[in-house]
Amino acid sequence: MFPIIAMHTMSAFFEPTHRSCAASARKRRSSGCAAALVILLGLPLILPAKPLLAGPQDGLPPLSEEWDRSTPRRSLQLFLDSCRENRYDDAAYLLDMSHIPRGRQTKRGPVLARQLKFVLDQTVWFDLELISDEAAGDPEDGRTTETVAEVPLGRGVIPIVLNRRALPGGGAAWLISSRTLQRVDDMYAEYGSAWITEYLPPIFSEIRLGEWLLWQIVSLFGILTLAFAGAWLISFPTLGFANWIARRTGYKWDDILLAASRWPVRIFLTLVIANIASGYLRLSVPAAATLSGLIGSGLILTVAWLISRSVSILSASLMRSLQEQNDSGKGIVDISQELKARGARTQVIVLRRVIQIVVFILAAALILTQFEFLRRIGTSLLASAGVAGVVIGLAAQKTISNILAGIQLALTQPIRIGDTVILEGEWGQIEEINLTYVVLKIWDLRRLIVPVSRVLDAPFQNWTKTSPELLGTIYFYADYSVPIEKLREELQRFVSKRPDWDRQACSVLVTKATEQTVEVRALISAADASDQWNLRCAVREHMIAYLQQLDGGRYLPKTRLAGLADPNILSDRQSDA
């Protein structure tokens, strides 16, 4: 029809020229207006028609059951739960797809839901308690609009907005706005899946374990393996060069530190490389926070391990050096140096344990700060720790006092490792000194465990506090007629042949006289408690044997019976007999 009208209109311009000019002008004006009107009316018929837009979810099948989408919080919770369970078809019912033609909504909706969830996982940690649970939404955002998050993109941000939209069947629902969905492609281009997903079967992107996709878990194990190999390759020449330098120095501590740091350095480098490479996994915010906390905790433990290992090796080397000096100078170096060496060993052992305990306590405290939920628990506990702190302090009073006593024992050194003491009525040597208890090795090889606080609170005998030399006494009894000078000579002769006598003291004195016997005390000296004990026993045995054979044993203790005093009576009785 339009061509016919157009031809008729064009013919008006070629009418015969013999008509009058006025009539011709009027005709042209009327024909031109008619032509313009016809063109305007016929233009929509020849141009392609723009497709009509649909409603928010007109292209989706009806819901099998009615969902509670009456508030922003409930709609967002439904969207997140559906995506976590890989029900992206259901998640599409939480989208406002009014900008998408009706015929494409069924196919496009799940794709938008998957992409939006992947972007939100990496950029937003939702606290649903902060999102309105009222049907009218948050009044500050408007009665039909609520902004629940913002996604950084370039130099700006893209708001994640929920709108309250009317549904065709009646009622209203809170849906993720069409304006937000129009920027999903831009956000996904920035935060989308890694390139490796293009070469993996789709199942690796569909299976989800909590906040982790299957391809992310597999990739993480691969990253850890490659990180360990890379750390080994980096540490091998580095540590080799450091060893080459350490061997050319005149010190031993650098060799010790290198030996202690070999494995901690490799583990540390592995965790650092893994932390850098984990950025390519496109993890969700909770998963990234968990992995970051685990890697941070591993780094803290590695540093604590390095410090503890270095302290242990350095202390062992120092104790070995002290022992070598003591052994090489035995018999030449005076006793005071041996006592100083034993005191140094005691301080090294106790201080090593103190440093290790402090290091791991600090490491544990730093690890707790790596996780948000543990940090909140710690804050809550600290907020209510008034009475609890007092109760715990009272309950752990003895433990704390023992620890402080152990530190005091290491500094003041009333006892040292190797000291000979009489503790709790038992004679023995100090075998171990810990922060909370002391181990006493008794002469019969039993071990007596004594709390450190008791060692400091109760009196005890230390036979080697200032020097190990000891005086020993031996008591024996003889008849009044015993020649004391012969006993002195015999004792001097006997001990002079004994290797355990230190040639410092040797004497015999009568210390007591009873009605029947005299008490004789032999005094001898020895270099230490062990030699003194053996020498005392040997002297006791020898002096008893000497009294037995001296003049047929006449000086052994004997009992006298009183008789008649008149000698004539005694002689008469003897003659009668």
The predicted-structure confidence for 88-104, as pLDDT tens digits, reads as follows 999 999 999 999 998 89
**The pLDDT of residue 245:** 82
The tokens 């839901």 sit on which residue?
A: 113
CA 280 to the chain's CA centroid? 26
Residue 170 is given by DSSP the state S
- Give yes or no for residue 54 having a pLDDT over 50: yes
More confident residue, 51 or 539: 539
Mean pLDDT over all residues of the chain?
78
Which pair of tokens denotes residue 218?
A: 């597999």
Query: What is the C-alpha R_g of the chain?
Result: 51
**The pLDDT of residue 113:** 93
CB contact at 8 A, 368 and 380: no
**The pLDDT of residue 302:** 92
CB contact at 8 A, 524 and 539: yes
More confident residue, 376 or 49: 376
Gap between the terminal Cα atoms of the chain: 187
**pTM across the whole model:** 0.55
**The pLDDT of residue 43:** 42
Which pair of tokens denotes residue 103?
A: 């015929």
- Give yes or no for residue 328 having a pLDDT over 70: no
Residue 313 lies in a domain: yes
Q: Looking at residues 122-128, what average pLDDT do you find?
A: 85
Q: Are residues 239 and 361 in the same domain?
A: yes
Q: Are residues 454 and 482 in the same domain?
A: no
Where do the H-state alpha helices sit in 384-528? 385-395, 397-412, 452-457, 484-495
The tokens 């006892």 sit on which residue?
A: 415
Q: Which residue from 273, 275, 286 is spatially nearest to 212, judged by alpha carbons?
A: 286
Look at the chain and count its residues: 577
Give the residue numbers spanning the domain of 14: 2-46
Domain finish residue from 436, 462, 488? 462
Based on the structure, what is the number of domains in the chain?
5
Helix, strand, or coil here: 517?
coil
Give the Å distances, CA to CA, from 537 to 318, 426, 472. Answer: 38, 19, 10
pLDDT single digits (tens) 145-179: 888 999 998 888 999 999 998 877 777 899 999 99
Q: Are residues 294 and 345 in the same domain?
A: yes
More confident residue, 535 or 242: 535
Q: Looking at residues 32-55, what average pLDDT do you find?
A: 47
Burial code (b: 16+ CB inside 10 Å, e: under 16) for 290-319 equals bbebbbbbbbbbbbbbbbbbbbebbbeebb
Amino acid at 95: L
* Spatial CB neighbours of 415, under 8 Å, sequence gap ≥ 6: 409, 421, 430, 433, 438, 455, 460, 462
Total Cβ atoms within 10 A of residue 93: 23
Which pair of tokens denotes residue 328?
A: 């090489």
More confident residue, 417 or 548: 548
Q: Are residues 219 and 329 in the same domain?
A: yes
Q: Are residues 231 and 366 in the same domain?
A: yes
**The pLDDT of residue 537:** 92
- Give yes or no for residue 571 having a pLDDT over 70: no
CA 212 to the chain's CA centroid? 24
Cα–Cα distance between 470 and 463 in angstroms, integer? 7
Residue 457 lies in a domain: yes
Q: Are residues 348 and 299 in the same domain?
A: yes
Q: Specify burial of residue 521 (Cβ count, 10 A radius: 0-12, 13-18, 19+).
A: middle
Q: Looking at residues 192-202, what average pLDDT do you find?
A: 74
Residue 172 is given by DSSP the state E
Beta bridge partners of 518: 478, 513
pLDDT-derived band at 273 (thresholds 50, 70, 90) equals very high
Cα–Cα distance between 531 and 538 in angstroms, integer? 11
Q: Are residues 339 and 241 in the same domain?
A: yes
Residue 559 lies in a domain: no
pLDDT-derived band at 295 (thresholds 50, 70, 90) equals very high
Q: Are residues 475 and 442 in the same domain?
A: no
